[in-house]
C-alpha cells in the first residue's frame, strides 16, 4: 500500500519537553480547508478534559474542524475545571498559531492521569510544531503521540480508481490500558474524500465496532479514548449512495459509493487496532478469539471478550500451557447464554490475512461439551506459537464475534509497576 497521505493535510511532531525523556511529545494534524468531523469517545465515567472538550466541539461544529493537537506525557484527566480550561487553552493556542478560526481545533492528551498540563511547554511546542508542518510529517506525528508504545502505528488506504478515488490515513497510539468500551487509545484518521458529517459518523461507528471495540490487552478502559475522523474533500471525490450517484450528471464532482469508502475505512481501523494488540505492553503473542453459534452477536462478543480478558487464559498462552479449561470457564461466566452439551472448542496456529481467524491445522479439543483425546504435545505446540486462533462454537444460534488480544507476561507487570518512574 503506497504511503501517500490524503491531499490537503500536513503533519508534524516535536519535542515540547512534556516527557521526562526529552522524546517527541506533541503532534499537529492540519487541513488546508474545513473538514467534516466524526468521533467516538470513551465510555469511562471519568472522561478526560480533552474528551469533554472534543465532544462539545464535534457536536457544535461538525463541518468546520481544521486541526488536531495531540500531546503525550500528560493525560489531562481527573483534573477538574482547571483541566477543562487547559484543554480549551491548548485548542486556542493551536488556532492562533495556525491562523485558524476559533473552535476549529480539537485536542487529545495521553499519559499520566492526574497532573495538570504544563501549559508553557504546550504553548512553545505548538508554535514549534506549527513551523514544522509538511505533507510527509505523518511519521514524526505518529511517533510524537506514543507513550509506552514501542513503535508508531499508521495505516494507509486508497479507495476507488482514477478520478473517482480518495486516500485515507490513520495513526494511533496504545499499548496498555486497552479494553474498549468504544476504542481504547487515541486515533486520528483523515481522508481527502468529501463526506457529510452524519454519514461519516455512521461509518466510523460501524468501523470502530469491529476494530477498536474488538481488542483488549489488559481489561482497563482509559479515560482519554478518542477516535477522530476528518474529511476535507480535497480530492474532489464525493462519497455518497449508489442512488445518488445514478441521479447525478456526468459533470464534476466525481462520486464514490459509500460502501466502498466504508469498507476501506473499516479495513484501516482493523489494521490499526491489530497493531495496538501486537504492540501490547509485554506482549509476546497475538491471539484471535472467534466465538460462533451464539444466541446473538452480543452474546458472542461477551463470550469472546471474557476469553480475551481472562488473566488465567492470557498467562496460559504466555507460558505455552494448553490449559484449555480456562477458555470454557471464561465463556461460562461471561453472561452469554450457554448450554455446555452443545459447545465445541478448537485451537490453531494463526494464519495470514487480516487477523480474522485464518488457521492452519486446527486441533479440536472439545465436542458437544465432551473433551476429546488429543496429544498434549500438539496442543502445547499450538499454545507456544506467536499467533494463535481460539474458536468456540456454542451451537445456539447465528451470533458471531471476533476479538483480538495478546498474552500477559512478566514484562507487563514491570512496565506498569514503574510507569511513573
d(CA 378, CA 78): 49
Cα–Cα distance, 357 to 135 (Å, whole number): 36
Which one is catalytic: 184, 226, 240, 288? 184
Q: Which residues pair with 189 in a beta bridge?
A: 170, 229
- Helix or strand run (H / E) with residue 165: strand 164-173
Whole-number Å distance between alpha carbons of 237 and 288: 36
Spatial separation of the C-alpha atoms in residues 85 and 103, rounded to whole Å: 14
What is the biggest distance separating any 2 CA atoms in the chain, rounded to whole angstroms?
70
Tell me if residue 42 is catalytic. no
User: Which residues make Cβ contacts (< 8 Å) with residue 388, sequence separation at least 6?
Assistant: 285, 286, 287, 288, 317, 347, 348, 349, 350, 382
User: Hey, which bits of 6-127 come out as E strands?
Assistant: 9-14, 26-41, 65-74, 105-112
Beta strands 215-216; 399-406: pairing state: parallel
Q: Which residues contact 353 (CB under 8 A, 6 or more apart)?
A: none
Report the distance separating Cα 297 and Cα 301, nearest Å: 6
Please give the helix or strand (H or E) that residue 240 lies within, else none.
strand 237-240
- Active-site residue list: 184
Amino acid at each position: 500500500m503506497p504511503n501517500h497521505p490524503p491531499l490537503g493535510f500536513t503533519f508534524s511532531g516535536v519535542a515540547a519537553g512534556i516527557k521526562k525523556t526529552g522524546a517527541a511529545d506533541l503532534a499537529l494534524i492540519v487541513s488546508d480547508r474545513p473538514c467534516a468531523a466524526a468521533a467516538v469517545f470513551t465510555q469511562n465515567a471519568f472522561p478526560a478534559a480533552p474528551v469533554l472538550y472534543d465532544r462539545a466541539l464535534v457536536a457544535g461544529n461538525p463541518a468546520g474542524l481544521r486541526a488536531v493537537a495531540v500531546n503525550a506525557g500528560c493525560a489531562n484527566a481527573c483534573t477538574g475545571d482547571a483541566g477543562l480550561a487547559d484543554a480549551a487553552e491548548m485548542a486556542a493556542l493551536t488556532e492562533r498559531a495556525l491562523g485558524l478560526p476559533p473552535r476549529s481545533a480539537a485536542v487529545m492528551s495521553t499519559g499520566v492521569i492526574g497532573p495538570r498540563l504544563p501549559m508553557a511547554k504546550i504553548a512553545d511546542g505548538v508554535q514549534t510544531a506549527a513551523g514544522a508542518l509538511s505533507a510527509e510529517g505523518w511519521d514524526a506525528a505518529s511517533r510524537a503521540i506514543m507513550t509506552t508504545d514501542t513503535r508508531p502505528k499508521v495505516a494507509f488506504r486508497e479507495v476507488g480508481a482514477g478520478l473517482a478515488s480518495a486516500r485515507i490515513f490513520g495513526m494511533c497510539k496504545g499499548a496498555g490500558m486497552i479494553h474498549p468500551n468504544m476504542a481504547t487509545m487515541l486515533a486520528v484518521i483523515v481522508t481527502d474524500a468529501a463526506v457529510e458529517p452524519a454519514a461519516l459518523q455512521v461509518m466510523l461507528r460501524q468501523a470502530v465496532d469491529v476494530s477498536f471495540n474488538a481488542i483488549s490487552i489488559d481489561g482497563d478502559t482509559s479515560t482519554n479514548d478518542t477516535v477522530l475522523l476528518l474529511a476535507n474533500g480535497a480530492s474532489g471525490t464525493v462519497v455518497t449512495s449508489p442512488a445518488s450517484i445514478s441521479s447525478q450528471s456526468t459533470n464534476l464532482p466525481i462520486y464514490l459509493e459509500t460502501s466502498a469508502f466504508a469498507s476501506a475505512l473499516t479495513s484501516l481501523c482493523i489494521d490499526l487496532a491489530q497493531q495496538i494488540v501486537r504492540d501490547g505492553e509485554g506482549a509476546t503473542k497475538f491471539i484471535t478469539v472467534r466465538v460462533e453459534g451464539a444466541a446473538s452477536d452480543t452474546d458472542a462478543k461477551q463470550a469472546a471478550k471474557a476469553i480475551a480478558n481472562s488473566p488465567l487464559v492470557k498467562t496460559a498462552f504466555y507460558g505455552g500451557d494448553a490449559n484449555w479449561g480456562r477458555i470454557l470457564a471464561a465463556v461460562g461466566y461471561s453472561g452469554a447464554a450457554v448450554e455446555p452439551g452443545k459447545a465445541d472448542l478448537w485451537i490453531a496456529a494463526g494464519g495470514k490475512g487480516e487477523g480474522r481467524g485464518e488457521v492452519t491445522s486446527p486441533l479440536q479439543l472439545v465436542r458437544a461439551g465432551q473433551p476429546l483425546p488429543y496429544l498434549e504435545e500438539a496442543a502445547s505446540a499450538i499454545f507456544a506459537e506467536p499467533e494463535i486462533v481460539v474458536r468456540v462454537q456454542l451451537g445456539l444460534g447465528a451470533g458471531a464475534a471476533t476479538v483480538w488480544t495478546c498474552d500477559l507476561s512478566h514484562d507487563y507487570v514491570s512496565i506498569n509497576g514503574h510507569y511513573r518512574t
